[in-house]
Structure 1
């Protein structure tokens, strides 16, 4: 659906080159919600503006449905842009126009007959849950309602692709959840491909099928939500994952272990899918001559798959602890965090 082939965007800044996007190869499949995450200045905003050629690449090709946008004539590019909707961080609504006229605006620009406009606007406002707000003005709406108007406006022309530029970063957590639920509905009911950029890891975890992590204009890691959350490889990805899935042992707990001073072993036990519901550690404590002390952990869902980890302290004879590790490794992943010898 969307392909970036060795795409770069270079700006001139104080007489030198600034590579906002650097040799990006990326494919967004039809019907998926794809997230691009990165810190400020990573290049993600520039990347999304390359999709509809609001920014033209310095190098490489941008393809939509197999068409190289950089090779299209102006009329051809206008035709492609009609199939691409965009949602903005700060809504970009016309304050002097009603909700109805804001949603109708792109249809009016394309010369759609008024009867068709009114029918389409009514349909879309019902879809986003704002049928009763058609005659109101933006200043009368909440932030979440304004973003719903922005989504309705982007959907008015029946696009195949929806670009979301930090669409939830100006919203509170509860409203963010409702907007993400609406975006899933857009994908599921209309089959629209969604490309979204964000700096919020909880957003991509909630709604995306796959993600790419950007840093200094480059894609440093990409894959499914499950793969990147369960096994992040790059330090930047690991930092993002920690913002929503803390897996470091709190310093106060480590300090307490150090003070106790006897021989102890600490392990991170990772649970995936069916193993998340099994009493693995409880069974170990009954079967072996060890004590199991749970120090820290959490269980969550990634794309409908239970995933989580527990950091545990195993107390007992070294040989018995080794037997425990060999036993539970047959069912779950175990990684030694650190060892303490008295």
Structure 2
């Protein structure tokens, strides 16, 4: 559906080369919600703006449904843009126009008959839950309602692709959650492909199927949500994941372990899906001559599937610990994160 092939964007800044996007290769499949996450200045906004050609790549190719945008004429680019909707961080609404006129504005621009506009606007406002706000002005709406108007406007032209540029960063957590649920409905009911950029890992966790992590213009890691959450390779990815799932061993706990002396081994046990409800650690204590002490942990959901980890201390003779770990690894992922053998 959307494919970036070795794409770069270079600006001239006071005679110096500024590489905002650096040789990015990504593929977003049809019907996916694909997230691109990075800190400010990572290049993610520039990347998403190249999909609708608001920015032109310096190098590389960008394909939308097989069409290479870098090789299209201006009229052909305008044709492709009609299939792409965009949602902005600060809503970008026309303050002097009602909700109804804001939503219908993209249709009016291309000369759609008023009767058709009225019908489409009514349908979309009902979908986003704002049918009773049609004749109000943006200043009369909450932030969440304004973003729903923005979503409705993006859907007005019946696009195939929806681009979200930090669509929830100006909203409070509860409103963010409702907007993300709405975007999932949009994907499911309208069969859209959504490319979403954000600096909030919680947004990625809630709605995305796949994610790419950007830093200094480059993609440093990408994969499914499960792949990145269960085995993040890059330090930046690990930092993002810690913002929603804490996995570091608190210093106070480590000090306590060291005080108790040798023979202490700490492991991170990762649970996915059905294993999250299995009494695996309890079984280990009964079958082997070891003591298992749960230090801390967390279980959450990724795409509706339980996912979590526990950090545990296992005490006992080395041979018994090896047996216990082998047993645990037959069902879940285990990683030693600390050892104090004396």
Q: Bin the TM-score by the shorter chain.
A: over 0.9
Q: Is the counterpart of residue 123 in structure 1 residue 120 in structure 2? A: no
Instruction: Say yes or no: does 1:44 pair with 2:44.
Output: yes
Query: How far, CA to CA, are the matches of 1:329 and 1:29 in structure 2?
Result: 33
CA distance in 1, matches of 2:222, 2:262: 43
SS of the aligned residue for 1:327 comes to: helix
User: Partner residue of 2:321?
Assistant: 321
More deviation, 200-209/284-293: 284-293
Residue 229 in 1 paired to residue 229 in 2?
A: yes
Structure 1 match to 2:104: 104
Partner of 1:5: 5
Shifted more, 304-313 versus 204-213: the winner is: 304-313
Provide the C-alpha distance between the structure 1 equivalents of 2:65 and 2:323, rounded to a whole number of angstroms: 56
Separation in 2, partners of 1:341, 1:2 = 52
DSSP-derived class of the 2:120 partner = helix
Q: Distance in 2 between matches of 1:184 and 1:12?
A: 39
SS for the counterpart of 2:50 is helix
Q: Equivalent residue for 2:73?
A: 73
- Give per-residue Cα distances to partners, 1:264-309, cap 9 Å, x unaligned: 2211122222221110111122222222110011112222332221
Counterpart-to-counterpart distance in 2, 1:283 and 1:3: 48
How far residue 262 of structure 1 moved from its aligned partner, in angstroms, is: 4.5
Partner of 1:157: 157
Aligned residue pairs total 342
Contact 1:50/1:57 (8 A) holds in 2:
yes
Cross-structure match for 1:242: 242
CA RMSD of aligned residues (A): 1.2
Q: Which deviates further from its counterpart, 104-113 or 312-321?
A: 312-321
Q: Which residue of 1 aligns with 2:287?
A: 287
Q: CA deviation at 1:49?
A: 0.5
Residue of structure 1 in register with 2:311 after alignment: 311
Cα contact 1:226–1:303 (8 A) shared by 2: no
Listed one character per residue, the Cα deviations across residues 220-271 of structure 1 (whole Å, up to 9, x for unaligned) are 1111111111111111111111111111111111111122224322111222
- Mapped partners of 1:341, 1:78: distance in 2: 67
CA distance, structure 2, for counterparts of residue 170 and residue 109 of structure 1: 28
Separation in 2 of the partners of 1:83 and 1:74?
15
Match of 1:89 in 2: 89
The gaps in structure 2 that reach 5 residues or longer are none
Which residue matches 2:252?
252
Alpha-carbon distance, 1:323 to partner: 2.5
Partner in structure 1 of residue 17 of structure 2: 17
Distance 1:265 1:67, change over 3 A: same
Deviation at 1:328, TM superposition (A): 1.9
Report the counterpart of residue 166 of structure 1 in structure 2. Answer: 166
Secondary structure of 2:60 counterpart: strand
**Which residue number in structure 2 is paired with residue 269 of structure 1?**
269
Asked if 2 retains the 8 angstrom alpha-carbon contact of 1:38 and 1:199, the reply is yes
Q: Secondary structure at the match of 2:249?
A: coil
Structure 1 ranges of 4+ moved more than 3 A: none
Indicate the SS of the match to 1:132: helix
Return the alpha-carbon distance in structure 1 between the equivalents of residues 319 and 2 of structure 2: 55
Q: What do the CA deviations read for 1:161-208 (whole angstroms, capped 9, x no partner)?
A: 110000000001111110011101111011111101000111011111
Using the alignment, how far apart are the partners of 1:322 and 1:157 within structure 2? 61
Distance, in Å, in 2 between the alignment partners of 1:15 and 1:281 is 61
For residue 51 of structure 1, give the secondary structure of its aligned residue in structure 2.
coil
CA apart distance, 1:12: 0.3
TM-score (norm 1): 0.97
1: CA distance, partners of 2:298 / 2:289? 26
Aligned to 1:57, the other structure's residue is in SS state coil
**In 1, Cα distance between equivalents of 2:25 and 2:111:** 37
Q: How far does residue 29 in structure 1 lie from its aligned partner after superposition?
A: 1.0
